[in-house]
């Protein structure tokens, strides 16, 4: 039995920085990883997909060359092996950096293997037993494989196996119209595949306001993605050309034949093979580890960070979990998850930057809501760049004058959203930004203008109130 001051399970976005921080504070740390150093973000999530999206974006812009006075003789085609090689080089560098950092940190011992709780303070890795009074679970999640008839009889893909593809699928059928499905969908369409997205709800990215999801849907449709909403996947069977996906739908064919199928129907936490029951750690019905506002589980000394606690599903939320735990344990701070403001991007082109409330949430809040809107076609920077799709929507509280939220669907929206997010963290009145002099020409320069034209949120027509809720 090896005894440690702290054991960390998983080298994801919280585990890695926590191991280094604790070790540098003089603690004897063990960190356990069963697959790739860096977890989902580095290997099968954010970094590789955004690298591939960059290839897709540049292919798209090359095809639009004539719009910018660029003459490209001949067709723009993809070298998918080169796309994958570029993505792999980025991923491998990050993975290596993380492995080298952990292995090179004094007081930190790296174990490669699957961690299994044996008791609240004991973990088994291979043939070794490790014990500690402090255990941090950072096991992340994986793609849900829906238990539909025939799913085991067809060669389906997930976000992980998509990373191994170095060819162009002739027809990629994507089950699920959330952000993972849409990002892969637009990307592969731009690479040259025929793409069909099947979404069982009435809109893509169903948690967004309808005006946003409708605009995103139009954007991907304009790229040539075949979007089918209100279309529920109910089964699969092999076909000479690939896979038949059977669907329950109000309109259109009930069978879709694809050369390849990507399942993008959500994520589940990696807690089913962790032995949490042996430690008495409480999980919810979906397997997420229950934590309090400071990420403590019900078992003293055991914390859960990142996607596996169900309190966030992004790299920045996992990293913030690390910051909360490290500050509270090492700096005498009292940081909390509830201090965090919801914020994320969806990396379509153009991207969607989101912070705080949606319009539906603002309406439900009972506050006196003001809204400001501006199409990207009326943003000079977007016009100059020839990227005018999307719009900006800002929500503020008429009484406190604080920002409630914003959605920036448009070129640069993934960066510009931080102007609003930082104001929200500062709890600043929107009038501060309204009087700020932003740099010309930028997308952000229009934010003060929009704030100068805020209007009360119009009442919803009775039949649309339900949809917006």
Which residue stretches of 198-258 are H helix? 210-222
Which residue stretches of 176-294 are H helix? 179-191, 210-222, 276-279
Give least dist CB 412 to ligand FAD, A: 16
Stretch near ligand FAD under the rule CB under 6 A, chosen from 64-72, 190-198, 312-320, 456-464 = 312-320
318 binds ligand FAD (CB under 6 A): yes
Estimate to the nearest angstrom the gap between the alpha carbon of 417 and the chain centroid.
16
Single residue of 8, 115, 219, 395 touching ligand FAD by CB under 6 A: 115
32 binds ligand FAD (CB under 6 A): yes
CA distance 12 to 20: 13
For residue 408, report the phi and psi dihedrals to the nearest 5 degrees. Answer: -120, 100
Give least dist CB 456 to ligand FAD, A: 34
Single residue of 4, 6, 7, 10 touching ligand FAD by CB under 6 A: 10
Q: Quote the crossing angle between the two packed helices 15-24 and 80-103, to the nearest 10°.
A: 30
Give least dist CB 212 to ligand FAD, A: 17
Single residue of 8, 20, 130, 139 touching ligand FAD by CB under 6 A: 139
Name residues contacting ligand FAD, limited to 270-299 (CB under 6 A).
270, 274
Four-residue CA torsion sign, 290, 294, 299, 305: positive
Stretch near ligand FAD under the rule CB under 6 A, chosen from 132-140, 209-217, 249-257, 276-284 = 132-140
Single residue of 8, 9, 225, 352 touching ligand FAD by CB under 6 A: 9
* Cβ-contact 157, 262 below 8 angstroms: yes
CA distance 234 to 232: 6
Query: Tokens in use for 237?
Result: 């069977």
Give least dist CB 250 to ligand FAD, A: 29
3-class state of residue 269 by DSSP: strand
Query: Tokens in use for 180?
Result: 């993972």
Single residue of 23, 39, 56, 448 touching ligand FAD by CB under 6 A: 39
CA distance 469 to 461: 12
Single residue of 217, 307, 359, 397 touching ligand FAD by CB under 6 A: 307
Single residue of 105, 109, 114, 320 touching ligand FAD by CB under 6 A: 114
Name the one residue in this structure whose structure tokens are 């560098």: 93
Give residues in contact with ligand FAD (CB under 6 A).
9-14, 32-36, 39-41, 45-46, 49-50, 114-115, 138-140, 159, 180, 270, 274, 306-307, 313-316, 318, 347
């Amino acid at each position: 039995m090896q005894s440690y001051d702290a054991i960390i399970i998983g080298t994801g976005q919280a585990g890695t920085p926590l191991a280094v921080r604790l070790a540098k504070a003089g603690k004897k740390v063990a960190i356990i990883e069963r697959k790739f150093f860096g977890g989902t973000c580095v290997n099968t999530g954010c970094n590789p997909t955004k690298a591939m999206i960059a290839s897709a974006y540049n292919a798209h812009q090359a095809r639009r060359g004539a719009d910018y006075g660029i003459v490209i003789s001949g067709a723009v085609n993809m070298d998918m092996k080169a796309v994958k090689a570029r993505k792999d080089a980025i991923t491998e560098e990050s993975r290596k950096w993380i492995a080298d950092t952990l292995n090179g940190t004094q007081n930190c011992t790296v174990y490669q293997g699957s961690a299994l709780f044996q008791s609240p303070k004991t973990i088994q890795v291979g043939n070794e037993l490790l014990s500690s009074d402090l255990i941090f679970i950072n096991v992340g999640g994986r793609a849900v494989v829906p238990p539909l008839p025939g799913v085991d009889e067809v060669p389906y893909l997930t976000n992980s196996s998509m990373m191994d593809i170095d060819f162009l699928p002739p027809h990629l059928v994507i089950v699920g119209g959330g952000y993972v499905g849409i990002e892969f969908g637009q990307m592969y369409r731009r690479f040259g595949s025929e793409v069909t997205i099947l979404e069982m709800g009435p809109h893509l990215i169903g948690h967004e306001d309808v005006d946003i999801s409708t605009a995103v849907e139009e954007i991907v449709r304009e790229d040539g993605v075949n979007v089918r909403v209100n279309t529920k996947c109910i089964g699969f069977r092999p076909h000479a050309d690939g896979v038949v996906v059977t669907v329950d739908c109000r309109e259109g064919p009930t069978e879709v034949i694809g050369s390849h199928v990507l399942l993008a129907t959500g994520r589940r936490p990696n807690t089913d093979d962790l032995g949490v029951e042996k430690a008495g750690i409480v999980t919810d019905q979906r397997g997420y580890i229950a934590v309090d506002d400071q990420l403590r589980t019900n078992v003293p000394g055991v914390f859960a960070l990142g996607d596996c606690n169900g309190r966030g599903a992004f790299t920045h939320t996992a990293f913030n979990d690390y910051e909360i735990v490290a500050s509270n344990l090492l700096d005498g701070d009292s940081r909390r998850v509830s201090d965090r403001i919801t914020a994320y991007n969806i990396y379509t082109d153009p991207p969607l930057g989101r912070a705080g409330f949606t319009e539906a949430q603002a309406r439900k809040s009972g506050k006196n809501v003001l809204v400001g809107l501006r199409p990207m076609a009326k943003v000079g920077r977007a016009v100059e760049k020839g990227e005018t799709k999307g719009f900006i929507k800002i929500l503020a509280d008429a009484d406190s004058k604080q920002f409630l939220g914003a959605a920036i669907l448009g070129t640069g929206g993934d960066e510009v959203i931080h102007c609003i997010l930082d104001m929200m963290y500062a709890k600043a009145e929107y009038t501060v930004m309204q009087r700020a002099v932003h740099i010309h020409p930028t997308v952000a320069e229009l934010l003060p203008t929009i704030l100068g034209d805020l209007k009360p949120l119009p009442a919803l027509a009775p039949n649309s109130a339900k949809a917006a809720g």
